[in-house]
């Protein structure tokens, strides 16, 4: 695997793994930090995931994949194909997203993101860099929403 074709990010979030899990899997929460996209799935291994954007009553499929691993409040791993990536809908076109949550001693949660491998796709390094920029924004939004959910649970 080429280093430039894999995305790794770590984020400390002032929220429980339960609040983060809800933020990752509840469509009403995903749309708050994913540019209006709702993640729809049962979140069970083998289940499809559809990332849908709703505008003016019309829905557009933005990405899709399949859940590979799902351990509530601990790990979510899935395949992903961006519909605007102009790639054929075949296994070689999909990348993998892996999100792992670990509770820290200070009460925060460490969220580890791994997204790859873009190697072998056309313009692999460019695609990985673009996805990395999108993830930075998404993770900042996820942190904000999860911390808001934590505050609402505490109130």
Tens digit of each residue's pLDDT (9 = 90 or more) over 93-102: 999 999 999 9
Q: What's the angle, vertex CA 24, arms to CA 15 and CA 111, rounded to 5? A: 50
Q: Please, what are the domains in the chain?
A: 3-154 (3.30.530.20)
**Neighbour-count burial of 125, counting CB atoms closer than 10 A to its CB (0-12 exposed, 13-18 middle, 19+ buried):** middle
Q: What is the mean pLDDT of residues 134-148?
A: 96
pTM (2 decimals)?
A: 0.92
Confidence bin at 115 (pLDDT 50/70/90): very high
Are the C-beta atoms of 4 and 30 separated by less than 8 Å?
A: no
- Helices then strands (H, E): number in the chain? 3, 7
pLDDT exceeds cutoff 70 at 110: yes
């Amino acid at each position: 695997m080429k280093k430039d074709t894999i995305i790794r990010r770590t984020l400390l979030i002032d929220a429980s793994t339960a609040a983060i899990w809800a933020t990752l899997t509840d469509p009403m929460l995903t749309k708050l930090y994913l540019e209006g996209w709702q993640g729809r799935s049962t979140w069970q291994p083998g289940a499809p995931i559809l990332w849908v954007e709703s505008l003016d009553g019309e829905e557009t499929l933005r990405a899709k994949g399949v859940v590979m691993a799902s351990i509530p409040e601990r790990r979510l791993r899935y395949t992903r194909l961006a519909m605007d990536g102009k790639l054929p809908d075949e296994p070689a076109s999909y990348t993998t997203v892996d999100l792992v949550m670990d509770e820290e001693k200070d009460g925060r949660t460490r969220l580890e993101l791994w997204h790859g491998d873009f190697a072998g796709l056309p313009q692999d390094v460019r695609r990985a860099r673009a996805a990395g920029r999108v993830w930075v924004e998404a993770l900042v939004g996820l942190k904000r929403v999860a911390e808001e959910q934590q505050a609402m649970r505490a109130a």
